[in-house]
Amino acid sequence: MPRIDAHGHVFTRASAEFPREVSPLVPADKEETVETLLTYMDTNLIDQAVLVQIGGTTYEHHAYLKHCLQRYPQKFQGIGLVPEALRQTPEEHMDRLTDGTGLVGFRLNTVGGPRDPFDPIDVRTFDTFRIWQHAAEKDYVLWLYISARDAHLIAYLVDAFPQVRVVLNHLGICPGEGTFSHDQWGRPQVDTPSYNPAFHTTHRLSAYENVTLHLSGQYAFSKDPFPYNDLAPWHQKLLKSFGADRLMWATDFPWIYEHPGYDKLTTIIETSIPDIQPHELEAIMGGTARRFLRFPDIA
Amino acid sequence: MMQPTEEAYRHWHEEGYLVFENAIQGEELARLQSAFDHWAAVCKEDWLLSIERGEASATFYDIPNVLKKDEVFIDLVDHPGFYGHLMAFTDNDLIFLGPQARTVPPWVMSYTGWHPDVPPDHPLHIKVQIYINDVESNSGEFAYVPGSHKPGAGPYSRVNNLAAMPGHKRFTGKAGTAIMFNSYGWHVAMDNHTSVPRKSIILIYERRTPGRVEPGKFAAITSSANTPDRRRLFSLV
């Protein structure tokens, strides 16, 4: 069974060949290339990975991601982004980015429905409805790291589009406004309540067979150092509710290369779930991603 | 104050729950409903903001610090409609842990799955859920697996489809119905597939044990704890 790292980012310096937006997280002169990632993967016996777009949402901003996917088609699958301005007409952008490129889906960070949970719901009015509708038609994966405001709205779309393959990122956590910061190593940090609203929103989506979840991002949410013991009960509970066939291990590279270290994160699942069965570990470490995301067989 | 009959004792020990129809009624119920709706409206914007900050779930809404809001909520805690039973089942050694004045909006599924609240080695833990509005089938009604509170019962599976839990019983009821249950037992709020939010107050009690008494917890309502029994119930002594 291949070992697959199901979520992370690569980027190169901003250039004419590979244009991208810059931010404190990805300044213009910083790069974390796919070759660096491959070194970590090879050292730690990781066979394949999912590359998630960072540094801009336009077609042109995806140039480096497409380059990586085309150069290593057996190794990687890609997840793209949709510009805010195209949410009402996303179809052409989505099709163009997935046309023979190795991109298999799109990441969303909002859903776009009513703020008040007591308001009547009509999913056709949600900002992202056409993205979901087109994903259903074209069998694209939707990759969700949704803001807290919209956490409960995901269920309406999952329910409306049972054929869409959905991946909840980073333990299903939906970050709240004002909770983002960066630590001394430049890693994203999210102030996360231990009794988390996700228990009553995204974690409830275990009822839907088309929903899977990443066991990842611990470094950003935990109040403990590696191995993040405060989050171990979450891992154990998620294994019970989702089952290993709907959980995927991921590192969220490159933010973890130095702290805690890529090698350490390859052990996080068995450390957090000491009584995990071998077949469950195999599924979480790659089997689920291989099946759900349809990774190619390794030559 | 109503005391449990022999049949109520048997049912409580065997099944793990009791239903008190019309426990709250008439003018008292109307006042309770009015206070509930008033404070739910007053506090709603703060809840919406706490959702946005990632501190609260949008799938249920609790009025904060409800005992400080109106005496009608305090009077529920030792309400004669069911309080005699609580005292009898805990050998007159009861403490109150807290209320949840909870509104559950319609959603595509329940906000929670089947669960017990505490393990069987925990001191006896009892909840009383009082419906504030009429709760019909498939509208978020309380459900319980009778007998699941007993030592050695189960094992029970956390089935994703709540209706698939073997042997469960659902509790519809008119406003003012109170359901008392042993929270060692497996329970849940069923899916609400109506357009009507489910409103209820859940009162949480426990058999008094030294480690669980927090003398300052209800200090803000000291003036309402105007009898020795109440002061003991609210851990003020």
- B60 — contact with chain A (CB < 8 Å)? yes
Closest CA in chain B for residue A196: B55
Q: In the prediction, which pLDDT does A64 show?
A: 98
Label residue A299 by pLDDT band (50, 70, 90): low
**A299 inside domain:** no
DSSP-assigned states of every residue in chain A: ---EEEEE--B----SSS-----SSS-TT--B-HHHHHHHHHHTT--EEEEE--S-SSTGGGHHHHHHHHH-TTTEEEEEE--GGGTTS-HHHHHHHHSSSSEEEEEES-----SSTTS---GGGSTTHHHHHHHHHHT-EEEE---GGGGGGHHHHHHH-TTSEEEE-GGG--PPTT-EEE-TTS-EEE---SS-GGGGTGGGGGG-TTEEEEE--HHHH-SS-TTTGGGHHHHHHHHHHH-GGGEEE---BTTTIIIIIHHHHTTHHHHHSTT--HHHHHIIIIIHHHHHHTPPPP-
**B211 inside domain:** yes
CATH number of the domain enclosing A197: 3.20.20.140
**B61 inside domain:** yes
Q: Do B111 and A174 make contact, defined as CB atoms within 8 angstroms?
A: no
B160, B161, B194: which to substitute to probe chain A, counting the most A Cβ within 10 Å? Answer: B160
Residues of the domain holding A224? 4-291
Label residue A298 by pLDDT band (50, 70, 90): confident
Q: What is the tens place of the pLDDT at every residue in A5-24? A: 999 999 999 999 999 999 98
Q: Do B105 and A159 make contact, defined as CB atoms within 8 angstroms?
A: no
**A26 inside domain:** yes
- B56 — contact with chain A (CB < 8 Å)? yes
A150, A204, A221: which to substitute to probe chain B, counting the most B Cβ within 10 Å? Answer: A204
Residues of the domain holding B20? 6-233
Q: Do B111 and A207 make contact, defined as CB atoms within 8 angstroms?
A: no
Q: Do B57 and A204 make contact, defined as CB atoms within 8 angstroms?
A: no
Q: What is the tens place of the pLDDT at every residue in A193-221? A: 999 999 999 999 999 999 999 999 999 99
Residues of A in contact with B195 (CB under 8 A): 120
CA distance A19 to A25: 16
Residues of A in contact with B115 (CB under 8 A): none
Q: In the prediction, which pLDDT does A120 show?
A: 95
CA distance B102 to B202: 7
CATH number of the domain enclosing B174: 2.60.120.620
Closest CA in chain B for residue A191: B54
Q: Do A176 and B54 make contact, defined as CB atoms within 8 angstroms?
A: yes
Q: In the prediction, which pLDDT does A267 show?
A: 98
Q: Do B53 and A152 make contact, defined as CB atoms within 8 angstroms?
A: no
- Of A117, A179, A207, nearest to B54 by CB-CB distance is A179
- Looking at the structure of chain A, the number of domains it has is 1
Residues of B in contact with A156 (CB under 8 A): 108
Decide the pairing of beta strands A188-190 and B17-20: unpaired
- Of B48, B51, B108, nearest to A155 by CB-CB distance is B108
Q: What is the tens place of the pLDDT at every residue in A38-63? A: 999 999 999 999 999 999 999 999 99
Tally Cβ neighbours within 10 Å of residue B7: 8
Portion 143-162 of B in contact with A at CB < 8 A: 158, 160-161
- B52 — contact with chain A (CB < 8 Å)? yes
As a whole number, the mean pLDDT across chain A is 97
Average pLDDT over residues A270-289: 98
Chain A closest CA to B167's CA: distance in Å? Answer: 20
Q: What is the tens place of the pLDDT at every residue in A219-265? A: 999 999 999 999 999 999 999 999 999 999 999 999 999 999 999 99
Q: What is the tens place of the pLDDT at every residue in A157-190? A: 999 999 999 999 999 999 999 999 999 988 999 9
**B17 inside domain:** yes
**A296 inside domain:** no
A-B C-beta contacts closer than 8 Å? 76
Q: What is the tens place of the pLDDT at every residue in A117-149? A: 999 999 999 999 999 999 999 999 999 999 999
Q: In the prediction, which pLDDT does A248 show?
A: 98
Q: Do B110 and A118 make contact, defined as CB atoms within 8 angstroms?
A: no
Short-list B213, B205, B216, B222, CA closest to B88: B205
**B121 inside domain:** yes
**B1 inside domain:** no
Q: What is the tens place of the pLDDT at every residue in A94-116? A: 999 999 999 999 999 999 999 99
Q: Do A207 and B109 make contact, defined as CB atoms within 8 angstroms?
A: yes
**A86 inside domain:** yes
- Write down the ipTM of this complex: 0.95
Digit-by-digit pLDDT tens for chain B (237 residues) are 789 999 999 999 999 999 999 999 999 999 999 999 999 999 999 999 999 999 999 999 999 999 999 999 999 999 999 999 999 999 999 999 999 999 999 999 999 999 999 999 999 999 999 999 999 999 999 999 999 999 999 999 989 899 999 999 999 999 999 999 999 999 999 999 999 999 999 999 999 998 887 888 899 999 999 899 999 999 998
**B222 inside domain:** yes
- Looking at the structure of chain B, the number of domains it has is 1
